[in-house]
Amino acid sequence: MIPKQLLIIGLVWPEPASSAAGTRMVQLVDLFLANGYQVTFASAASKSEFSYDFSHTPVIEQEIKLNDESFNAFLKALNPDIVLFDRFMIEEQYGWRVQQECPGALRILDTEDLHFLRQARQQSTKKLEALNLFSDIAKREIAAILRCDLSLIISEAEIKLLEEQFKIDPSLLYYLPFLEQKITADTIQKWVPFAERANFVFIGNFLHEPNWHTVQTLKTKVWPLLRKKLPEASLNIYGAYPTQKVLQLENKAERFFIKGRAGNALETIARHKILLAPILFGAGVKGKFIDAMLTGTPSVTTTIGAEAMKGDLPWNGIIEDDLAAFAEQAAQLYQHEAEWQTAQQKGIQIINQRYDSTTFADAFMQRINELFSGLIKHRQNNFFGQLLNHHTAQSTKYMSLWIEEKNK
């Protein structure tokens, strides 16, 4: 039997050691491989030394060009059953070419998080203005969702927003969170115990604006309060791609250390007592908290930080939006082993009940198969999507063809 072909068009080559987005993409690749798909990963981006090494997998890698008809020839030859776009910008670039060359291919958008929601929160936080969701980015991102057959959403809060605020048909959306292995008794046995841990940690890719803003908040508002309560403790800041403005925040006298890229995020977090993340804006769900729970490390964060991650379960630590109270409660948790161990147990619950890959994998593949068998009707039911594919894709197409001619 010939395996089904999945083509993933990546915004970048995935870097799971650098970002949660990279981890998410590799999880999707593994999910399709486990279900017998032949996977081709294509990207116009340059690789870095941190790009994921697919050489130990059956994945075929393909370099492609932006605004170039060579992509059409590649598409025709591959003739994929499914095309997965990595974020809405990629659907904008390549969606019309996929529609033209492979009209029968199932088109899936992996949103990662809702970019328009993150940007709206960022603007609201920085300018102290009311939240405005109705931006040009919102129009672009929601248009991409409507043009696709299915969009993968990592946050239940974002599904609710799309359905209630923007009236997106639920049949176009699919909740697929991070796909993790269950935490077992064997895993717990290997965790570093409370007595052998020290200090606070933050981790996050510095190309991601919410992470940079969170580090500034830690430096100026949280750590000055916290280090007075715990003068022996340090705060260690890890993250890929730190710029000079990040590195300049280090202050050895204040025990505020900028460590740069972590060789292994899980091992790094596991040495610390608490992950601190006073996130004031963002979207999606945060991979840093998943990593903390996987290593038995309690977290102290904000309502935005924990959004959509725990469901009805208690958080593995503290959720606090008042930064003075944030510092006070972080100090308490740091010093009290019984509270700390209780928080650790809550993290086990969250991972095992909400992120166990076996809970989601089969149901997702079943949804894919349902779409294959009823794709014509599914698309007819999404008439606004057909309109957008007809008009928006035409305008995108001619802009792209104009750039292509100009490049020649």
pLDDT tens for residues 264-292?
Answer: 999 999 999 999 999 999 999 999 999 99
Other Cβ atoms less than 10 A from the Cβ of 232: the count is: 8
Q: What is the C-alpha separation between 350 and 343, in angstroms, rounded?
A: 11
Residue 87 main-chain phi, psi, to 5 deg: 80, 155
Pair of tokens at residue 168: 């997106």
Task: For 308, list phi and psi in degrees, rounded to 5.
Answer: 65, 10
Any domain includes 210: yes
Q: Residue 356's pLDDT band (boundaries 50, 70, 90)?
A: very high
CA dist 78 to 28, 42, 171, 178, 246, Å? 20, 12, 28, 29, 44
Q: How high does pLDDT run on average in the chain?
A: 95
Residues 140 and 171 in one domain: yes
Range of the domain at 286: 185-354
Q: Mark whether 196 and 300 lie in a shared domain.
A: yes
- Same domain as 223, residue 154: no
Q: What is the mean pLDDT of residues 19-42?
A: 97
Instruction: Report the C-alpha gap between 316 and 290 in whole angstroms.
Output: 10
In the predicted structure, residue 394 carries a pLDDT above the cut 90: no
Average pLDDT over residues 347-357: 97
CATH number at residue 306: 3.40.50.2000
CA–CA gap between residue 4 and residue 36 (Å, rounded): 7
Same domain for 301 and 364, yes or no, is no
- Looking at the fold, whether 251 and 123 belong to one and the same domain comes out as no
| Residues 281, 167 share a domain | no
Tell me, yes or no, whether 122 and 167 share the same domain: yes
> Is 90 exceeded by the pLDDT of residue 406?
no
Q: What are phi and psi of 281, to 5 degrees?
A: -150, 160
Q: Is there a contact between 277 and 289 (Cβ–Cβ < 8 Å)?
A: yes
CA distances from 265 to 118, 259, 340 (A): 24, 12, 21
Smallest CA-to-CA distance from 286 within 259, 256, 316, 263 is with: 316
**Whether residue 324 is found in the same domain as residue 280:** yes
pTM, two decimals, is 0.94
367 C-beta neighbours (distance < 10 Å), count:
14
Instruction: Name residues whose C-beta falls within 8 Å of residue 222's C-beta, 6 or more positions apart in sequence.
Output: 276, 278, 323, 326, 327, 330
What number of CA atoms fall less than 13 Å from residue 91's CA on the CB side? Answer: 27
Least confident of 66-80, 238-252, 390-404: 390-404
Please tell me the distance from the alpha carbon of residue 66 to that of residue 100, in angstroms, as a whole number.
16
Cα 306 from Cα 302, distance rounded (Å): 6
- Residue 408 in any domain: the answer is no
- Are 143 and 191 in a shared domain? no
Residues 147 and 206 in one domain: no
User: Do 274 and 371 share a structural domain?
Assistant: no
Phi, psi of 260 (to 5 degrees): 75, -155
Residue 6: name the closest of 46, 56, 40, 47 by CA.
40
> Does 160 have pLDDT greater than 70?
yes
Regarding whether 10 and 153 lie in a shared domain, the answer is: yes
